[in-house]
Structures are given as structure tokens and as C-alpha cells.
Structure 1
Amino acid sequence: MSMRIADRTKEIVKPLLVEMNLELVDIEYVKEGKEWFLRVFIDKPGGVDIEECGQVSERLSEQLDQIDPIKTPYYLEVSSPGAERPLKKREDLQNHIGDNIYVTLYEHIDGAKSYEGILTAFDETDTDKVVIEFNDKGRKKQVEIPYKKIAKARLAVSFN
């Protein structure tokens, strides 16, 4: 059910975001305790501000009230994905070459199931690999990760 609601919300919110030159990063419909939350994460180059989140929230709320795809009470939250935004699409990876990222994998590569480092390349052609440069005990190393082996990817805040 929560996937259907997220998909339906995506259909509703996408035209609003296109009109406002904003990007849909993610939607989640989750139960926390006794309450349901519909969370919509938006972004744009340079980040979104609270006014933009408020505008999207108001307009989306009106649309949701008219269409009424969610029959139980819920809280609508519209926000930025934050500094450690998820990288859900291939385009996200392409747009963040040179940035510090964190990936978890479906299976081990070179003995590890997660990596954090600089995304140095993403080749969508023949190899379809993500290349990450990371530190291993003070030494710089690179790992090539097949895109299909990535379970999750996100930006990572670096304190260097």
C-alpha cells in the first residue's frame, strides 16, 4: 500500500515541481508509532529554501485533498533531502562526480560491502561502473563498482 501511495503522490507532485523548476528526490509514506507520514523531498541546484517547501506543501495538500488517494489521517512533510541526499538515479550519480559519496552494496567487492570516498567517474556506456577513490589506512585507492551492485548511494559529509 505505501508504494502505491508514494507512486500516486509522485504522479500528482511532478507537474507542480516542473512548473516551479524543482526536482523530486524521493517520496516515502511510512508509519512511525501510530502516525502515518507522507514525506516529499525536493531539491534544485543550490538547494531549496523553506518558502519553496511551504509552497509545494500548500499546493500538494490542495491536490491531495481533491483527489483523496490516502483514506487514513497522515502528516504531509515537504523538505530538502539535506546534506546527505540520496542518489537514487543514474543522473544523480552523473551530476555528483567529484563529490564525496557513501555507497552500500548488495555483495562484497574487494572484501567490503560499503565505500565512502570521492566519486571520480560514472561510465554509463559499456562498463556501467561507478569509480570511487577512497582512503585505506592513509593510502588512496580506487574501487570500480558495477552499478547493479549498488544497494544505496548518498552524498556524504566530509570533515577533512
Structure 2
Amino acid sequence: MTQRGRAGARPGGRPGSSRTRPDAEPRTPSVPRVDLTAARARVREVIEPVVTAAGYDLEDVNVSRAGRRHVVRVLVDTDGGISLDDVAVVSRAISDALDAAEESGGELLAGEYQLEVGSPGVDRPLTEPRHWRRNTGRLVAVNGLIGRVISTDDTGVTLDVDSATRELAWTDLGAGKVQIEFKRMDEAEFDDTDLGDDDEEDEGEGEE
């Protein structure tokens, strides 16, 4: 997480031209208004080449307001998932890129901002072929179907739907959603040695 602060002059009239009543409370400088959509596009343009060069995919960029500062949230991913060390490396690279862009071309975001970098959760819609590839073996819902991802290729994805194979082309595929699965008690695996130890303890308690 990276946090940046900038000091700015208070907008107002000419020096010595303003008057303040003795009992008046000091004014808080107003926060510069920023077009969040435009800011998001500028940030993405700056950081996407950096993320790609580091070997990751830029999945999403979001810019929002939090009080008197902006929050820049960046989601990155790659085959095999993202570790905490990966997040730290990418965060530094993104922060350096934003600093360099501001030094050479002006502010991307007016005022203070906070940078947050992470990886997508399981609730992220599956919209790209790489999303489906990275969820091979998982249960997903798409196009009114619920099935398990068997494989993907250049043409589309293959699902196991109720033990029947279904092939869906990328052009006909809507956004998928990973389904959360909970193992049933009758499918859970137990260690027989643990049960045996309990039986021995019970027998021992009954002896005098």
C-alpha cells in the first residue's frame, strides 16, 4: 500500500485583500475535483505496460474518493496465482511508474492518494479466456448452465454438465461465475487411526 500527500496553496484573492473575523473558524481548503473516469484511464495507461513487463495481467483499475484523498485499487493476476511477495514487487513497480509519470507530465491525481494492489477474488466474473483457463477443474455457472471446467483452447471452453460434455465457443460464451463448493459430510475423509485411539481410550476408562 502506498500513500502520497501533496501540499497546495489555498485558492483566494490577492495578498492582503482578505479579512477574517476574530471569531471566525479557519476554513478547510476544498478538495480538487477530479474526473474519476478520466483519472482511471490515465492511471491504467501508465501502469499497464509496467504490470505486463513484470509478467502479470492487469485485471482491473479503480479510482475512488475516500474523504480528502483518492484510493487507487489495482488487481493483477497470473497463471498459478499471486503471492504476497508478488504483490509487494508489483506495488513498488506501479508506485515508481506513477511517480515518474507525474514528474514528467504533471499530476495524475490532484492531492493525496493511496495505492492498493491485490489479486481478484473468486467472485470476479470470468470474461477472458485466461480467466477460464485459470479456473480449470472448478464448478462454474454460465449461459444458464452449471458445470465443471474440463479444458480450454483457442476456440472455447469444455464443461462437464451432469456428466455430459458441453463445448461452448468464446463468441457464444457469456460472463461465467465460479460456484462455491462445500464438501458434504458423507464425502469427508477421516483417519481410521484417530477412531482407533478413541476406542482405546474408552476401553481404558472402563477398566478398574
Q: TM-score, normalised by structure 1?
A: 0.63
Q: Which residue of 2 aligns with 1:3?
A: 37
CA distance in 2, matches of 1:4, 1:80: 23
- Using a 3 Å threshold, how does the CA distance of structure 1 residues 52 and 94 change in structure 2: closer, same or farther? closer
SS in structure 2 of the partner of residue 4 of structure 1:
helix
SS in structure 1 of the partner of residue 132 of structure 2:
helix
The answer for unaligned runs of 5 or more in structure 2 is 1-34, 102-106, 184-208
Q: Are 1:25 and 1:86, in contact at CA under 8 Å, matched by a contact in 2?
A: no
The equivalent position to 2:87 in structure 1, one of 22, 31, 53, is 53
SS in structure 2 of the partner of residue 5 of structure 1:
helix
Q: Which residue of 2 aligns with 1:99?
A: 138
Q: Which residue of 1 aligns with 2:117?
A: 78
Residue 155 of structure 2 is aligned to residue 155 of structure 1: no
Amino acid aligned to 1:100: L
The equivalent position to 1:27 in structure 2, one of 61, 64, 85, is 61
- Using a 3 Å threshold, how does the CA distance of structure 1 residues 39 and 88 change in structure 2: closer, same or farther? farther
Residue 52 of structure 2 is aligned to residue 18 of structure 1: yes
| Number of residue pairs matched by the alignment | 144
CA distance in 2, matches of 1:38, 1:79: 11
The answer for unaligned runs of 5 or more in structure 1 is 104-108
Amino acid aligned to 2:49: P
CA distance in 2, matches of 1:144, 1:35: 47
Structure with more of its chain in strand, by fraction? 1
CA RMSD of aligned residues (A): 3.5
SS in structure 1 of the partner of residue 91 of structure 2:
helix
Q: Which residue of 2 aligns with 1:63?
A: 97
Shift, 1:158, TM fit:
1.8
Q: TM-score, normalised by structure 2?
A: 0.51
CA distance in 2, matches of 1:158, 1:9: 36
Residue 118 of structure 2 is aligned to residue 118 of structure 1: no
